[in-house]
Structure 1
Amino acid sequence: MRIAHFSDLHILSLSGISPYRFLNKRLSGYANLRLKRGHIHRPNYVRAIAREIARTSIDHVAVTGDITNLALEPEFEAARALLQEALGLDPKNVSVVPGNHDLYTRGALRTRRFMRYFGPFVESDLPELAVDIGLGRFPFVRLRGPLAIIGLSSAVPRLPFVAAGRIGSAQLDAFARILAHPQVKERTPVVLLHHPVQNPPSRLKTLMEGLEDADDLTAHVQGFAHGLILHGHLHRRIQRPLATRAGQLHVVGATSASLHHEAHERMASFNVYQFDEKGMLGEVESHILEPESETFRVADVPHAAWA
């Protein structure tokens, strides 16, 4: 099996949006976008990546959050249309989890905006094991060949300038039940979430942009000898090991699919993971966009201790 993974689309669309909807966290977010991000996040890069994946031999696609910039309806519409048209895949073959930008405000959570547009991309093969966490029912599970693809939501509304995530005890308890299910135990787990499970060494940076209950999540996967955890959030291609009592999991992050950057590890790209028939992970590679020609060059995903 081959899984393609990309993240952090940061699709921006303000079509038909009233200025009154910026009288909240969006005001600081929009200012930051115009001052720092507007010239480097390019939706045509996302389209090029989706088209390249459609041309490649891929069995499943994982998208690990921050689909939108400000969690506005036109952004969700544009992102869904882009994925459907460029990928051309049935939603059962595409798994999407939300990022902090997709729950940018409490209104986005209250109206379940992510689920309204991306519900078909989170439909679970074991729906009875999910719990309602406000934005929808998570975790979801897709049983695909030798793999159990498990989607977690680490996205929660935060104060301005805070991008930290949290899974929460209810979702973690459901995650434990999923991992104990016979159909999951016989497969290799591939866990999707937006925030990295390994926090930075700085306590302040963890509080501002890390995963609040990362240690609790790590405790739940200690029984697995192998598997894969995929994330975004860092806008950086990176892979790190996660030791367990039984062996070692691979933790791999994707950069922003829309990001224009001179640094090799940050330029827009997608990752590809190759599994054998027993669910053992083989090759891990990144396909990096060459923007002028809209072609891709293949490279390794850099190893790092932390980001």
Structure 2
Amino acid sequence: MFRLAHLSDIHLGPLPELSYRELASKRITGYINWQRNRKRAMFGDTLLRLVADMKAQHPDHVAVTGDLVNLATKTEIAGARIWLEDLGDPALVSLVPGNHDAYVPGALARAYREWHPYLIGDGGRSIAGRHFPYLRVRGNVAIVGTSSAEATVPFFATGTFKRGQALATAKLLAEAKAKGLFRVVMIHHPPIAGAAAWSKRLIGKQFFSKVIHDVGAELVLHGHTHLDTLYWLSGPDGEKVPVVGVPSASQNAGGSKPASRYNLFEIEGEPGRWSLTQRERGHAADGSGIGWIRERRLLANGTAVDASPRVDAAPAAVSP
């Protein structure tokens, strides 16, 4: 059995001191949003406790689907590198960027340099000089990292998935299928129509859907919406591919969005007979601690079957 943990939307805080030059950009709107909203909802030891709990589950690998930072300043990006190093060895952690990591022009290139070991495929391999997609093989699991991150104008948080990246992603997925691997695709924005507001949508999701329809995958992971969601995309032989979103890893209890969580996927079986179980764990809504939230099997016919409650399902506080 292979156990894959999924975290997203880290939004490391607090914000560093910002210069007037840094604020003379789209960052001013993000700065105001942080001070009015996210400072209260996402600052404290919530993330520390969640990561400590996740590590205690001993996953074989960790997938992080973006938004490590808030305004993508130099200080934030350097701090996120330190956080990644604490999270785990680059061989054990796979990362794709989010829109906040590309908040202003030039920020994403800086993030690539700082977070490079977590953003590359096996052997530093790339396709046609592209940074994305990348492929990592761990056991019988193929992890394909894609990027939807881009700098946008104020009040927009869209992402893009263009035809070139789609073709390269399809090639990697086909290679992985030929080797009999369970294929996991990581992307920040949900590749589903209506899953995010128009100003926060994924542009080019039709290319992503076509890749899945033509070549297939066994699981798609995303973040961005800060919600616990499950959608399905159609695969090449009529099977359904689960598309799973996870709430922000930093969200405090009591807010308008679900409290901090992570998913733990248990992968077993062989090609044509894969077994995929999603176990969701995180902070209780009443702030009583961290515990199991749900467990369900995700089937290729497009259904999610609730599993029996785990014996350790009661919330239990975890110290960072």
Aligned length: 295
Q: Distance in 2 between matches of 1:56 and 1:201?
A: 30
Q: Which AA in structure 1 matches 2:290? A: F
- Check 1:185–1:154 CA distance in 2 against 1; reply closer, same or farther (3 A cut): farther
Letter in 1 for 2:58: S
Q: Give 1:63's aligned residue.
A: 64
Residue number among 243, 246, 264 corresponding to 1:251 in the alignment? 243
- Per the TM alignment, residue 211 of structure 1 is displaced from its structure 2 partner at its CA by 0.7
Deviations 1:252-275 (A, max 9, x none): 001100112437971101111000
Distance 1:188 1:291 in 2: 33
CA displacement 1:172-191 (0-9 Å, x = unmatched): 22112212225765212100
More displaced stretch, 38-47 vs 249-258: 38-47
After superposing the two structures, state which structure 1 stretch, 142-151 or 168-177, moved more: 168-177
8 A contact 1:238–1:301 mirrored in 2: no
- The SS at the match of 1:255 is coil
Which residue identity lines up with residue 34 of structure 1 in the other structure? Q
1:192 is aligned to 186
Residue 240 of structure 1: how far off its partner (Å): 1.6
Deviating above 6 A after TM superposition, structure 1's stretches of 4 or more consecutive aligned residues are 291-294
State the Cα distance separating 1:75 from its structure 2 match. 1.3
Q: 1:74: Cα distance to partner?
A: 1.6
Q: Which amino acid aligns with 1:210?
A: R
In 2, Cα distance between equivalents of 1:94 and 1:156: 22
- Identify the residue that residue 38 of structure 2 maps to in structure 1: 37
- AA aligned to 1:142 is R
In the alignment, the residues of structure 2 paired with residue 140 and residue 192 of structure 1 have an alpha-carbon distance, to the nearest angstrom, of 10
Superposed, 1:31-110 pairs within 5 Å as: 31-42=32-43, 44-85=45-86, 87=87, 89-109=88-108
Alignment pair present for 1:123 and 2:120: yes
Gaps of 5+ in 1: none
Tell me by how many angstroms 1:301 deviates: 7.0
Residue 144 of structure 1 corresponds to: 138
Gaps of 5+ in 2: 299-320
Distance 1:171 1:199, change over 3 A: same
Following superposition, the deviation at residue 217 of structure 1 comes to 0.7
The one-letter amino acid of 1:147's match is: V
CA distance in 2 between counterparts of 1:114 and 1:289 reads: 29
Match of residue 20 from structure 1? 21
TM-score (norm 1): 0.87
**TM-score for the superposition, normalised by structure 2:** 0.84
3-state SS in 1 of match to 2:41: coil
> Between the two proteins, what is the percent identity of the paired residues?
30
Mapped to 2, the partners of 1:233 and 1:117 lie a distance apart of 22
- Identify the residue that residue 314 of structure 2 maps to in structure 1: none
Distance in 2 between residues matched to 1:290 and 1:182, nearest whole Å: 38
Tell me if structure 1 keeps the 8 A contact 2:125–2:134: no
**Among 233, 256, 259, the residue aligned to 1:267:** 259
Amino acid at match of 1:113: R
Residue 139 of structure 2 aligns with an amino acid whose one-letter code is G
Alignment of 1:161-180 (within 5 A): 161-180=155-174
Matched with 2:212 is 221
